Structure 1
Amino acid sequence: GEKITRLIEYATNQSLPVIIVCASGGARMQEGSLSLMQMAKISSASYNYQSNKKLFYVSI
């Protein structure tokens, strides 16, 4: 989650497009609170990316 968050923040600062290929089913409660918090960090970073700069974002 940290690497994805940093990627999105870097793309926001550099005005770069983001293309993410996801191969996960998402965070599950059994994985603990850390994985759920990482999902929230990624969501926050992607929201800032979309709302502030209106840049190109694709999730496959």
Structure 2
Amino acid sequence: MLKQRYEKERLSWNLYYDILSAVEDALKNNDSFALELRKKAESIIYQCYVKFGSR
């Protein structure tokens, strides 16, 4: 049971890093899909910022 769980997680993380690598390469080539994906990700991250003070 533990071995199957480990294998499933390992494969999932490998896929995650493969996707990150592919997107990074696409961004270097100014791929329109990757550029739009980056804009959306930046927007989501910006919305998650914790804002302090009156700025």
Shorter-chain TM-score: which interval?
0.3 to 0.5
Structure with greater strand share of residues: 1
More helix by share: 2
**Higher relative contact order, structure no. (Cα contacts within 8 Å, ≥ 6 residues apart):** 1
The structure with the larger Rg is 2
TM-score (ref. length: structure 2) = 0.42
Using the size of structure 1 for normalisation, the TM-score is 0.39
